[in-house]
Structures are given as structure tokens and as C-alpha cells.
Amino acid sequence: MSEVMVKKKNNTVNKASKREENSFGLQKEKANHIIEVNDLNLWYGSDQALYEVNMDVPEKQVTAIIGPSGCGKSTFLKTLNRMVEMVPVVKTSGSIKYRDQEIFNRKYKQEYLRTKVGMVFQKPNPFPKSVYDNVAYGPRIHGIKKKEILDQIVEKSLKGAAIWDELKDRLHENAYGLSGGQQQRVCIARALAVEPDVILMDEPTSALDPISTAKVEELVQELKEKYSIIIVTHNMQQAARISDKTAFFLNGELIEFADTDHLFQNPQDKRTEDYITGRFG
């Protein structure tokens, strides 16, 4: 709690541009940028979707990405684990470094990247298998077959996703029978099972009811102790509630990236201000 207070102070003092700000008050995080994005451009065929994005994602914090729909925030998120390349016409330029390694490097394997940078999707998307098989999916495809170990991983992951108590007696039921909120937390558990470094969340609560949303938000707060989280949200209140830093995207450009309190209370850019005060959206 006190740390947050300190941050707040720093933020209010510092009104310099976003790049300088990073080096000003938050030196500790500066040393620990888990993902560094430099001059990222992205095209769907001939339509450019991202323009010269520069952004350093801090480790073990929650980074929120906000912006009106179509602003490129989901595209940006999916670029971070190269899921965006599932669309065949996508082209990129620039650099993304995960722990100082260039992920666009030809020798760098997508599969390896994705075990480190996990993802939770907009709509809960469990496989039509049992809860157990869903969570064990990741470890299994990476060659972990021993039942005792898988048992432990499943338990640990479900506990990590705060759903163990609800589901410990229903591990072998089909995940399709669960409620939407439960499904989404199983999907989070599934992402946790390979113990990734970073978890990307693409509007994870947009398909959920308010109670489930609250549970997921609470979970995000717990998870940041061990994981770096980047969360896309269309809900500004949510970004303000759960994130440490917030990035505002508009028309494929990163307009502003700052500590969350700072960005909401003291936006540097007119467009950010217009957006968070609800003048468009």
C-alpha cells in the first residue's frame, strides 16, 4: 500500500514526457523491463494497424492497454506473443525484445516464446475436454507426461487461478459445463500451468457478469506477485482499478504510456484526456 502511495507522489510530481518519466521515478522497474518494444509497425495486407509503437513493459506489474475499439490494442497484445501472425497477410517491422532477446529473430521459436508469454482470451475458450485435461494441456504438449507431476501442476495452477476449491471435486467433468466465469478462470489456470513469465489478457472480462469480473480482477492482483501481466480492456474503470501502468492507444498509435494514476488524473495529451473523460469512445 505504501509503495502505491510513493508511486502516486512521484507521478504527480513528474509531468515530463513518458520516456523520461520512466527513468525518473521508477528506476527499480527500469532495470526490469521484461518486454521492450521499439518502433513497431504492423500491416494487415496494405492497411497499417500499428504506427511506430515504443513501449517498455515492467516486470511483475499489471500494465493496462486502453483505447477505443479498432485502435490496435488487441493487435498490439497479440504481437507480443506473435499470435497476430496467425493472420497470413500480417507484416511487421521494428523490434520486440523479451528479456533482451529479439522475438522476431528467425531463430527464435514462436512455440518457445508462447510458453514464456502466455495468453488469456476475450471469450473463455476451454477445450471440450475435462477441467483436468484443459489445465494439463500445456505441460503435456511440452512433454511432461508423469501423472504425479501433472496432478501437482493441475492443483497448483487451479489454486493459482483461485478456482481449486470450487472445482477440486469436478476435475474430470467437461469444462463446457462450467459457468462463463469459471471457464475463464480455468483458462487462466491453463495459462498458468506452464509457469509463464508474462500473461497477456485480451479483454478477459468482457464476456463475464459483474461478480465473475470482480473475481477475475481480484485474481489479477494476486497474480502480479509472480507474473508480469498485460491486460487489454475496454473498461477504463477496470484499468484504473487493477493496473499499475496504463497505455492509451488511438488509431494504431501509442498516445500515452504512464503510471495509471498519473494517466487518469493528469493526462499529458489532449486526446487521452478527451478519451478518459468520455468525449469519444
Partner 1 sequence: MDKSLQSEGKSFNVQQMIESNKKKTSIGEKIERIIPTLLFLCAAVSVVTTVGILFTFLRESIGFFSDVSIIDFYTGSQWSPWSGEFGVAPLIGGTLLITLIATIVAVPLGLMSAIFLSEYASDKARRVIKPVLEVLAGIPTVVYGYFALTFVTPMFQFFLPDLGIFNALSGGFVVGIMILPMVASLSEDAMNSVPNALREAAYGLGSTKLEVVVKVVLPAAFSGIVASIVLAISRAIGETMIVTIAAGATPNLTLNPTESIQTMTAFIVQAATGDTSFGSTIYYSLYAVGMTLFVFTLVMNLIAQYISRKFREEY
Partner 2 sequence: MLGQKERHIKKRMEGRVIINRLMMVLFGVATAIGLIFLVLLFYRVLTQGIGYLNWDYLSNFPAPYPEEAGIYAGLIGSIMLMVIVAIFSVMVGVGSAIYLEEYAPKNRMTEFIRINIQNLAGVPSIVFGLLGLTFFVYLFSFGYTLIAGGLTMALLILPVIIVAAQEAVRSVPAEMKEASYGMGATKWQTISRVILPAAVPGILTGTIIALSRAIGETAPLIIVGAAAAIYTLPESLLAKYTVMPIQIYNWTSRPAEEWQFVAGAGIIVLLVVLLLMNSIAVWIRNKYQHRL
Shortest reach from residue 208's CB to partner 2, in Å = 15
Shortest CB 121 distance to partner 2, Å:
6
Interface residues for partner 1 in 219-238 (CB under 8 A)?
A: 222, 225
- The distance between the two most distant Cα atoms of the chain, rounded to a whole number of Å, is 56
Which C-beta is closer to partner 2: that of 17 or that of 125? 125
Rule CB under 8 A: is residue 156 a binding residue for partner 2? no
Taking residues 129 to 158 in sequence order and writing x for each that binds partner 1 by CB under 8 A, - otherwise, the string is ----------x--xxx----x--xx-xx--
Task: Answer yes or no whether residue 114 interacts with partner 2 by CB under 8 A.
Answer: yes
Of the residues 62, 194, 199, 239, which one makes contact with partner 1 according to CB under 8 A: 194
CA distance 70 to 269: 20
Q: Burial of 136 by CB count in 10 Å (0-12 exposed, 13-18 middle, 19+ buried)? A: buried
Q: Does 112 bind partner 2 (CB under 8 A)?
A: yes
For residue 144, how many C-alpha atoms fall within 13 Å in the half-sphere facing its CB?
16
172 binds partner 2 (CB under 8 A): no
What DSSP string describes 100-168?
A: TEETTSTTS-HHHHHHHEEEE-SS----SSBHHHHHHHHHHHTT---HHHHHHHHHHHHHHTT-HHHHT
Cα separations in angstroms, 269 against 3, 17, 53, 249: 26, 10, 16, 12
Of the residues 83, 161, 219, 254, which one makes contact with partner 2 according to CB under 8 A: 83
Q: Does 150 bind partner 2 (CB under 8 A)?
A: no
**Which residues of this chain interact with partner 1, rule CB under 8 A?**
115-116, 139, 142-144, 149, 152-153, 155-156, 159-160, 193-195, 222, 225
